[in-house]
Amino acid sequence: MSTAVHLDGITKRFPGVVANDAADLEVERGTVHALLGENGAGKTTLMNVLYGLYEPDAGRVVVDGRERAFDSPRDAIDAGVGMIHQHFMLVDPMTVTENITLGNEPRKWLGLTVDRDRARREVSTLVDRYGFSVDPDAAVEDIGVGAQQRVEILKALYRGADVLILDEPTAVLTPQEVSDLFSVFEELTAQGKTIIFITHKLGEAMTAADEITVLRGGQNVGVVDADAVTREELARLMVGREVLLDVDRRAADPGEQRLRVDDLAVEDSRGVRAVDGVSLSVRAGEVLGIAGVDGNGQSELIEAITGLRRVESGSVELDGTDVTGASRRDRIEQGMAYVPEDRQDRGLVMDFDLVSNGLLGSQHSAPYARSGRIDWDVATDHAESIIAEYDVRPPDAGTDAESLSGGNQQKFVVGRELARDPSVLIASHPTRGVDVGSMEFIHDRIDALRAAGVAVVLVSSKLDEVQSLSDRLGVMYEGSLVDVVDPDSVTESQLGLLMAGEEPADIPRPDPVPTGGDR
């Protein structure tokens, strides 16, 4: 089997940071290769060098046995290297065909007019060849996230890519969509394509890859066969120490009701009812998990609870006070912290530095504000404490949020919210995009808050996460909370049936809650 990609001694420096330090990578043609590492390990930087976004300070890029010097992504594409970024680069109102052919449209009439019929035929042929379930005529804004990712892959294939780089490709996918993506990998490699995917998820690397290269501190610290390595061994390579992969929950004694939601109805941005009569309650010292396939009302429910979306009917109570019509600021002041589902849209102002982002939601309150003026020394100390505690990289409070990797953005948001000393924590996908070491730390911090008497609502698409952290586990389907089950006894198969709107037999349920309105 021939080598498709060989990166030899790649070094890439940024001010104050060595992102890649003589890093090596060798990928065989027709295989799936996982590039595994913590946030800030240099994975994306190394792939950006291969894709021509960055010029290396030292080292060689070899593609198909030929040394290359890419000045831009166009050079990489011409050499058969395509990259699908974590945040898709699609034009929502345009069709699938228009997005795939954009900038490379077939033309007629001496090149003066786009040949739309030919473009559609070519895209349809591509879709059929790789067995993708994508409608060439659909508007991108009308298809799901998994289908949008396949459109991005088709864009690269349309431009002649033989090597496909995918940056954290499962970060925004449901478990079902992840399985579909891995089937796509199998089809692509069967037809001779080479896949490199960046990830920090051990299980996905072991499931989808043939080989795994682990980066730590910008260096290659090991290459392993995915079939011959354990999760524990991979975690140790990634972090450089033993990692507790399973949550060991502390003892907790649930107390009085802190949060109550009663018969809540909420509409989505299209005016369609997304939450339909949901009731729940959470006590001090308890984690209520919420599972479900994305798009079944979880987002709208959480936004209504946190004050970011208007409630059509029903009520939200926080420590016995009706906050249904209260602002987000009022809820923060009453003790509600919120880790949002979308860190970039809801959690950060991307062109603000970390000092300013650390203040969000607290910029009017002591000790950060005095007599209407922000104390920037205190604010800087606050940001630096979050950076240190949560290992945010680069460790510079003056860095803009947009300069951080997705995982480091997530760690900063989680750190800011947990630092509020809340009585109620609403955590929506709190470990989305973070590495195994940071995931261990965030899980431990959430469990510590629970043990200290904080009431936690945890929404996650990761079933192992929501099961291991929760005392009770609710399942949402089509806007309703269809059941509340015992997370320690329920099986993944039973959860899957509930998430699909079916009622499994012999479902284990937790002890009834003495106060509140779960149903």
Secondary structure (DSSP) of 335-357: TEEEE-S-IIIII--TTSBHHHH
Last residue of a domain, one of 196, 215, 239: 239
Asked if residue 229 belongs to a domain, the reply is yes
Asked if residue 343 belongs to a domain, the reply is no
Q: What is the pLDDT of residue 250?
A: 87
Looking at the fold, whether 165 and 210 belong to one and the same domain comes out as yes
Asked if residue 340 belongs to a domain, the reply is no
Around 327, how many Cα atoms within 13 Å sit in the side-chain half-sphere? Answer: 4
Looking at the fold, whether 107 and 138 belong to one and the same domain comes out as yes
Looking at the fold, whether 136 and 230 belong to one and the same domain comes out as yes
Looking at the fold, whether 162 and 269 belong to one and the same domain comes out as no
Looking at the fold, whether 125 and 191 belong to one and the same domain comes out as yes
Looking at the fold, whether 69 and 146 belong to one and the same domain comes out as yes
Three-state DSSP at 160 gives coil
Looking at the fold, whether 319 and 358 belong to one and the same domain comes out as no
Q: What is the pLDDT of residue 172?
A: 67
**Token output for 65:** 């046995």
Looking at the fold, whether 179 and 312 belong to one and the same domain comes out as no
Looking at the fold, whether 18 and 134 belong to one and the same domain comes out as yes
Q: What is the pLDDT of residue 363?
A: 92
Looking at the fold, whether 78 and 212 belong to one and the same domain comes out as yes
Quick check: 157 and 125 in contact, CB under 8 A?
no
Residue 382's domain comprises: 349-421
Q: How do the pLDDT tens digits run along the chain, 519 residues long? A: 799 999 999 999 988 789 999 999 999 999 999 999 887 789 999 999 999 999 999 999 999 999 999 999 999 999 999 999 877 889 999 999 999 999 888 988 877 898 999 999 999 999 998 888 899 999 998 888 788 989 999 999 999 999 999 998 887 676 667 888 899 999 999 999 999 999 888 888 999 999 999 999 999 999 999 999 998 999 899 888 887 777 788 888 899 999 999 999 999 988 999 999 999 999 999 999 999 887 899 999 999 999 999 999 999 999 999 999 999 999 999 999 999 998 998 999 999 999 999 999 999 889 999 888 999 999 999 999 999 999 898 899 999 999 888 888 999 999 999 999 999 999 999 988 777 878 888 999 999 999 999 999 999 978 888 999 999 999 999 999 999 999 999 988 888 888 888 888 788 888 766 544 443
Q: What is the pLDDT of residue 103?
A: 86
Indicate the pairing of strand 3-14 with strand 17-28: antiparallel
Quick check: 202 and 26 in contact, CB under 8 A?
no
Asked if residue 344 belongs to a domain, the reply is no
Last residue of a domain, one of 192, 216, 239: 239
Last residue of a domain, one of 421, 456, 474: 421
Looking at the fold, whether 353 and 456 belong to one and the same domain comes out as no
CATH number, domain at 22? 3.40.50.300
Q: What is the pLDDT of residue 516?
A: 43
Beta bridge pairs of residue 213: 35, 223
How many domains, in total, are found in the chain? Answer: 3
To which H or E segment does residue 213 belong? strand 211-216
Looking at the fold, whether 261 and 227 belong to one and the same domain comes out as no
Indicate the pairing of strand 163-167 with strand 3-14: unpaired
**Token output for 450:** 């629970």
Q: What is the pLDDT of residue 514?
A: 52
Q: How far apart are CA 515 and CA 417, in angstroms?
A: 27
